[in-house]
């Protein structure tokens, strides 16, 4: 099984680039820019990664991201992840970034976009890596700040075809962002949103009906609403499920309790993704392997989910057909 997981050409559709910051690079950059962190070595960082919920993770994730300052930092971050894609046979990836995590610290769009796109171009040239960028709004901030971010991104839309919504879900429902998502749609952008990770099924309904998303990030709490499951199946709406993330953030107490195979059995278009691999203890292949070990994921189920990744991607139809 491990060999098949490695050998299959795969997609990754739910990955926060800031969540790929490895402890070693974090320490290196904190020294480079004299950013004070409450850690002095890799072991201390790893020991701190014991989360009880989404917010306890986000606090350390934003702290970690504070070491990213100049263009080369953003290049290195992206380059390390793209090398991981090559290593794990991820032939197509759709990568989220959080502009507001950086602009609020005075880092310009120019700085991170130049670093990101240079790494993406190098990987494309060197081994044909296929990548798309998803610009994600931070939902704990106001809708006006998301609108300002969309406006600031306008000179870079050649490189951004998709917007998303992430950060603290509870108390920040999709409806708060209906206007900015409408503006993004009017600019011709595709839309995704985190919904039903910690939040209720109602937030998934809102993402569908008020934000008109093309894909749902997480969505595991859809299983609480049979009518919603029926709708997701009818719409062939992809869910980007992140198993190791869900157990690390206590969405499920144990991988044995994870509902991804129940959703698959009900014909929901589920995909497997790593979310924030450096914080959650594994990249994409480790997520598949964890499902095999805890839930007995079979070869047929593995292949079905990997195919869902291509179906649920934003690749052009001819590229999807090629991989399927
Ligand atoms: C995130 Cl796991 C998760 N959920 C919501 N927002 C996020 N940002 C980075 N990782
Ligand atoms: Zn996420």
Helix (H, G, I), strand (E, B) or coil at 320: helix
Residue 299's CB is within 10 A of a number of other CB atoms, namely 12
167 Cα nearest atom in ligand 1: 6
Distance 125 CA to ligand 1 centre (A): 30
Which domains, and CATH codes, for the chain? 2-323 (3.20.20.140)
Q: Looking at this predicted complex, what is its ipTM?
A: 0.97
pLDDT one digit per residue (tens) for the chain, 324 residues: 999 999 999 999 999 999 999 999 999 999 999 999 999 999 999 999 999 999 999 999 999 999 999 999 999 999 999 999 999 999 999 999 999 999 999 999 999 999 999 999 999 999 999 999 999 999 999 999 999 999 999 999 999 999 999 999 999 999 999 999 999 999 999 999 999 999 999 999 999 999 999 999 999 999 999 999 999 999 999 999 999 999 999 999 999 999 999 999 999 999 999 999 999 999 999 999 999 999 999 999 999 999 999 999 999 999 999 999
Neighbours of ion ligand 2 (CB under 5 A): 275
Strands 130-138 and 162-166, by their bridges, are: parallel
pLDDT of residue 30: 98
253 in a known ligand binding site: no
Distance 72 CA to ligand 2 centre (A): 24
CA-nearest residue for atom 4, ligand 1, is: 167
pLDDT of residue 58: 98
Report the run of H or E that residue 193 belongs to, with start and end.
Answer: strand 190-195
pLDDT of residue 103: 98
Whose atoms come closest to the Cα of 21: which ligand? 1
Distance 6 CA to ligand 1 centre (A): 25
pTM of the model: 0.98
pLDDT of residue 288: 99
pLDDT of residue 143: 98
Alpha-carbon 186 to chain mean position: 24
CB of 197 closer than 6 A to ligand 1?
Answer: yes
CB of 276 closer than 6 A to ligand 1?
Answer: yes
CB of 245 closer than 6 A to ligand 1?
Answer: yes
CB of 101 closer than 6 A to ligand 1?
Answer: no
Contact by Cβ (8 Å): 163, 191: yes
Q: Which residues contact 103 (CB under 8 A, 6 or more apart)?
A: 109, 149, 152
Helix residue ranges, H only, the chain: 2-7, 23-32, 42-48, 54-65, 71-88, 99-103, 109-127, 143-152, 178-186, 201-209, 226-235, 243-248, 260-265, 277-280, 284-295, 299-311, 317-323
102 in a known ligand binding site: no
pLDDT of residue 309: 99
Residues belonging to the active site: 197
């Amino acid at each position: 099984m491990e060999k098949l997981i490695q050998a299959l050409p795969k997609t990754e559709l739910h990955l926060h680039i800031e969540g790929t910051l490895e402890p070693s690079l974090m320490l290196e950059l904190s020294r480079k820019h004299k950013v004070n962190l409450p850690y002095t070595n890799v072991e201390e960082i790893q020991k701190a990664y014991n989360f009880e919920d989404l917010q306890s993770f986000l606090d350390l994730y934003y702290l970690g991201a504070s070491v990213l300052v100049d263009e080369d930092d953003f290049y290195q971050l992206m380059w390390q992840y793209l090398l991981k894609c090559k290593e794990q046979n991820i032939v197509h990836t759709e990568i989220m970034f959080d502009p507001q995590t950086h602009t609020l610290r005075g880092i310009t769009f120019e700085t991170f976009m130049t670093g990101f796109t240079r790494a993406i171009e190098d990987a494309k040239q060197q081994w044909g890596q296929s990548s798309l960028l998803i610009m994600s709004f931070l939902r704990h901030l106001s809708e006006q700040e998301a609108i300002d971010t969309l406006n600031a991104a306008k000179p870079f839309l050649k490189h951004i075809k998709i917007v998303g919504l992430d950060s603290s879900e509870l108390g920040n429902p999709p409806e708060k962002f209906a206007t900015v998502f409408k503006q993004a749609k009017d600019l011709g952008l595709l839309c995704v949103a985190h919904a039903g990770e910690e939040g209720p099924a109602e937030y998934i309904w809102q993402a569908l009906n008020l934000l008109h998303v093309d894909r749902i990030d997480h969505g595991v709490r859809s299983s609480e609403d049979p009518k919603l499951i029926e709708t997701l199946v009818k719409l062939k709406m992809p869910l980007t499920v992140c198993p190791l993330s869900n157990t690390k953030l206590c969405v499920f107490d144990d991988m044995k309790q994870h509902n991804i195979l129940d959703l698959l059995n009900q014909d929901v278009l589920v995909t497997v993704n790593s979310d924030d691999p450096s914080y959650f203890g594994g990249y994409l292949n480790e997520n598949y392997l964890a499902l095999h070990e805890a839930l007995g994921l079979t070869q047929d189920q593995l292949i079905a989910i990997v195919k869902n990744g291509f179906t649920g991607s934003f690749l052009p139809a001819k590229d999807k057909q090629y991989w399927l």
